[in-house]
Amino acid sequence: MKFSSFITQLKEHHAKELPFVAYHKPNHSKINALLDQNAEQSPVDYTQKGFVMSAFQGEDLTHFIQLENAVQLAVDYAVNDLTFKTTHASTQYSDQEALNYQNQISNCIEHIQNTEVQKIVFSRKVEITSSQDPFQAFKNLLYLYPEAFCYIWHHPKLGTWLGATPETLFHLQRNQLKTMALAGTQLDNEEKEVSWGAKEREEQALVTQAIVEGLRKHTQQVKQGPVSTKKAGKLLHLHTPISAQIELLDLPKIIHEIHPTPAVAGLPKQEAVAYLLANENYQRKYYTGFLGEVHIPQQVDVRKHRKNQEFQAVQPRIPLTDLYVNLRCMEFTGETYQLYVGGGITEASNPKLEWEETQNKLQTMLNVL
C-alpha cells in the first residue's frame, strides 16, 4: 500500500463517522491503523487485544478498539512520502494571561508549603485558530518528531486528538514490564554537557521513587537504571529507566497504581489530583491520559545464531502492550485546535520560569500548525 492510499482510507473512514486510530512508534518506519467498525463507545478490557484511549480521570471517556472488530492497516513510509505544510495560526498571548497563570502557580507553591503535598503538575489549555487539516497535521507530526509516539485518533462522540508524546507509561512483553520516570524540562541548545538544577533533579527523584514504590505493591522484582538526559524534539528531560516482572492478572491494578504518574499529576497522587480538579478550572480530557496497544501480537527480533535457525523460521509473534502518556497533544474541534501544556511545581518553583517553560512546550505543537 502507498502512503497516499493509507491516508485516503483514513479520510474515508472518518467521513463515515466511525472511530479509528493511526499511529507510529518511536523511530519506526511503519504506521499502523485500526479502523473500528462500531461507532459505539467501548470500555477497555485488558484481557483482549486492541487499542486503548484513556482520559486523565474517569472511565466515561475511555474507548477500546478491539482488534477482532477492526480493519487493520499498515504502511511503510519514508520522509520523502511526507509533505510538510503549515497555515497561519493565531498564537498571541496577553500580559493578563501570563499574569493569571503565574498567580495560579503562586497559589500552587503556597499550597505545597502549607500541606504535605510535595509536587503538583499544573497545566493550562490554549485555543489556537488554524485552518490546518488534521490529516496534514498528522503528517507534520511524523515529519517533525520521528523519535516520538505520533498518532491521530478519532471517535464521533469523543473527539479528534493528535500528538507526539515522548513518554512511555510502560512496555510489556510477556510478564516483563519496562517503564520510565520522566521529569524536568529545558531547551536543547545542542551543548555537549547538559546542566540540571537542584529543582529538576529533586522533581526527577520524586517521580522515580513514586513509580518504584507503586510497582513494589505488586512485585518485589523491580529495578531502576541511572538517570540520563532524554531528547524530545527541541526539549530535554531527565530520564530514569525502570523495569519489573509482573503477573498478567495484576495488569489493571498496576495501571491504576502508576497512572496518573507523578510526572503528570504530582505527589502524593491522590492529594495532587484533588487540587488539580479543584483549581485548574478546565477539563484535561485525554491530556495526560494514556493510549496505545494492548496485547497486540508482533514479530520480535531474534539473534542471528545457528542455534536459533529453527526459531527464526517460525517468525514468532508475541503479544506486546505499549502504552504512552498523552503529552505534547492537541484536540481538533473543527475550527480550532486546543493545545495542552503544564509543568511540575514544587516549593522551589519560580512562577515566571514556569510560564516560560509552558511557552517552550507549546512550540512542539505550534510547529505542527
pLDDT value of residue 315: 56
**Domain 3-366, CATH number (from 3.40.50.20, 3.60.120.10, 3.30.9.10, 2.60.40.10):** 3.60.120.10
Q: Give the pLDDT confidence score for residue 205 in this predicted structure.
A: 87
pLDDT along the chain (369 residues), means of 10: 93 97 92 96 94 94 95 90 80 83 97 95 94 94 94 97 93 92 80 83 85 92 92 82 93 92 89 97 96 88 53 68 96 93 92 93 90
For 323-353, write each residue's pLDDT tens digit.
999 999 999 998 899 999 999 998 989 999 9
Let me know: does 84 contact 133? Beta carbons within 8 Å: no
**Predicted local distance difference test score (pLDDT) of residue 302:** 53
Query: pLDDT digits over 122-157, tens only?
Result: 999 999 998 899 999 999 999 999 999 999 999 999
Give the per-residue pLDDT at 192. 72
pLDDT of 9 reads: 97
Whole-number pLDDT of residue 312: 52
pLDDT value at residue 120: 95
pLDDT at 25: 95
Q: Where are the domains of the chain?
A: 3-366
Nearest to 149 by CA among 298, 362, 276, 323: 323
Per-residue model confidence (pLDDT) at position 231? 80
pTM: 0.88
